[in-house]
């Protein structure tokens, strides 16, 4: 409870820990190059990481062994890991804050989600044990470097697979810390190895080695397409891939919506976590007659946002993840300078992008997902609603969609017509709840069962056929 001052003070202090280096966790001795890990809010070095080479990846695949234990035993270990995660909240919040630029509120939500994944998949796997596929590669993004990372691993492990996890380049420390806790809980080292390293080295090794029997990936649409091509060229035909990818998420606010509520949800959906959520709002459609007023209200709410180090409890919007992301987003805003409706000022230190609102005529104007605090706004007439939904569907992404309206029948009509994985009505459009609100996209936004949803473990990770890998 972050509104309780005593709790807040306790966890605020607990996260002030030394940040450990990120070392590979493999059966054989790893080799690679040491590299600095940097704090996105300050640019300062916080730790070092060993980026492994292709030989280490090949050895890890050779060393991998499926987890020879009953489903009940595996579930007990994952539950123990969940308890260990909770016990170690201090270092976890500290690493998430320093390495991933997470605010305390975001770090708390992320730990909660990771723990929920462990317990949910433990229960799912126990209920329908199935048989392991063999070696599963788990390739994850930096924006949920604990929750998504843990969810992928927990689902694959629960079915007895041997997992090789590859964290994203900017966030190896939290990954190594989490794997340490999973090993401590009792997951055998040969069943769970960690390979920090470059996507084109380790990711390519996992998607091109015929000994790998399945891949779970979360990241950008472009990387998923590269992985699918590499898999098709090298792996057995039909080797499964779960890909959770990007989106061009829209929200529609009609003239019956409650403006104060809509504005709060728009600003949170577009700018919270500096827009670095796959679910974040990218393209807002406001009904013409209320648009001028609503846009003024959004500007006012943007002006209230405090940019700064997420370590500071008063910060609303932190930095973007690295200088490459900062440059890409800044270049995009500069190229669209004639569309700017409102833009804040950025702090001088750290990799910040000021929250920015751009005017567009519709979703077709958005070339690609911009993974930062940039909101595009279009207007529509009441008689254009059907066309607008058709345009959003035609754009090809299908992750999240938001609707603010007080017309009950419209909720059903629009929900039936829109092709997305997750629909949010009269609320913000970020967030999912493991077990009750499964998350996943359609079209260019992803393929496979929804994370945290029914039968996720048996549908992908535990088919009927037995494994080809020695136990």
Which residues carry out catalysis? 244, 278
**Which residue stretch of 61-69, 152-160, 164-172, 339-347 sits at the interface with ligand NAD (rule: CB under 6 A)?**
164-172
Bridging pattern class, strands 45-52 and 32-38: antiparallel
Any contact of residue 219 with ligand NAD (CB under 6 A)? yes
Any contact of residue 429 with ligand NAD (CB under 6 A)? no
**β-pair partners for 380:** 287
Any contact of residue 227 with ligand NAD (CB under 6 A)? yes
Shorter beta-carbon distance to ligand NAD: residue 88 or 166: 166
Report the nearest approach of ligand NAD to the CB of residue 343 (Å).
23
Any contact of residue 133 with ligand NAD (CB under 6 A)? no
Any contact of residue 102 with ligand NAD (CB under 6 A)? no
Any contact of residue 287 with ligand NAD (CB under 6 A)? no
Shorter beta-carbon distance to ligand NAD: residue 148 or 457: 148
Residue selected from 26, 143, 268, 379 as contacting ligand NAD according to rule CB under 6 A: 143
Residue selected from 28, 35, 42, 226 as contacting ligand NAD according to rule CB under 6 A: 226
Shorter beta-carbon distance to ligand NAD: residue 75 or 165: 165
Residue selected from 150, 152, 161, 207 as contacting ligand NAD according to rule CB under 6 A: 207
Q: Which two tokens stand for residue 383?
A: 């008689």
Residue selected from 53, 99, 124, 244 as contacting ligand NAD according to rule CB under 6 A: 244
Residue selected from 97, 172, 319, 441 as contacting ligand NAD according to rule CB under 6 A: 441
| Interactions with ligand NAD, residue window 334-393 (CB under 6 A) | 369, 371
What is the binding site for ligand NAD (CB under 6 A)? 139-144, 148, 166, 168-169, 199-200, 203-204, 207, 218-220, 223, 226-227, 244-246, 278, 369, 371, 399, 439, 441, 446
């Amino acid at each position: 409870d972050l509104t309780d001052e005593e709790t807040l003070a306790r966890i605020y202090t607990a996260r002030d820990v030394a940040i450990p280096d990120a070392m590979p966790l493999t059966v054989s001795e790893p080799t690679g190059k040491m590299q600095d890990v940097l704090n996105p809010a300050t640019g300062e070095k916080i730790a070092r990481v060993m980026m492994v080479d292709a030989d280490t990846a090949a050895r890890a695949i050779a060393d991998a062994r499926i987890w020879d234990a009953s489903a009940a035993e595996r579930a007990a270990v994952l539950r123990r890991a969940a308890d260990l995660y909770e016990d170690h909240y201090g270092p976890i919040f500290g690493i998430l804050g320093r390495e991933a630029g997470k605010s305390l509120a975001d770090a708390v939500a992320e730990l909660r989600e990771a723990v929920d994944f462990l317990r949910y998949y433990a229960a799912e796997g126990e209920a329908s044990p199935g048989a392991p596929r063999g070696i599963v590669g788990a390739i994850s993004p930096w924006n949920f470097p604990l929750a998504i990372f843990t969810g992928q691993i927990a689902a694959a492990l629960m079915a007895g697979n041997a997992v090789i996890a590859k964290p994203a380049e900017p966030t190896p420390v939290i990954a190594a810390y989490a794997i340490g806790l999973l090993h401590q809980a009792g997951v055998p080292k040969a069943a769970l190895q960690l390979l920090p390293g470059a996507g084109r080295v380790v990711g390519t090794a996992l998607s091109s080695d015929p000994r790998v029997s399945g891949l779970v990936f979360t990241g950008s649409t472009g990387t998923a397409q590269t992985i699918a091509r590499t898999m098709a060229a090298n792996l057995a035909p039909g080797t499964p891939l779960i890909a959770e990818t990007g989106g061009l998420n829209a929200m529609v606010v009609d003239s019956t919506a409650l403006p104060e509520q809509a504005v709060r949800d728009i600003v949170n959906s577009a700018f919270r976590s500096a827009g670095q959520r796959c679910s974040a709002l990218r393209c807002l459609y406001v009904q013409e007659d209320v648009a001028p007023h609503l846009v003024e209200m959004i500007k006012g709410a943007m002006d209230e946002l405090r940019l700064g180090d997420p370590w500071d409890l008063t910060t609303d919007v932190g930095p973007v993840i690295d200088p490459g992301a900062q440059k890409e987003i800044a270049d995009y805003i500069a190229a669209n300078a004639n569309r700017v409706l409102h833009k804040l000022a950025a702090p001088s230190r750290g990799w910040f992008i000021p929250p920015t609102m751009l005017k567009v005529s519709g979703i077709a104007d958005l070339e690609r997902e911009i993974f930062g605090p940039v909101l595009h706004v279009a207007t529509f007439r009441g008689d254009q609603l059907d066309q607008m939904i058709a345009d959003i569907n035609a754009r090809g992404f299908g992750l999240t969609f938001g609707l603010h309206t007080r017309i009950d029948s419209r909720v059903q009509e629009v929900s039936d017509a829109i092709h997305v994985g997750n629909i949010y009505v009269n609320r913000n459009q970020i967030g999912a709840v493991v077990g009750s609100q499964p998350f996943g996209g359609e079209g260019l936004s992803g393929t496979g069962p929804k994370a945290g949803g029914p039968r996720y473990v048996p549908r992908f990770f535990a088919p009927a056929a037995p494994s080809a890998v020695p136990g």
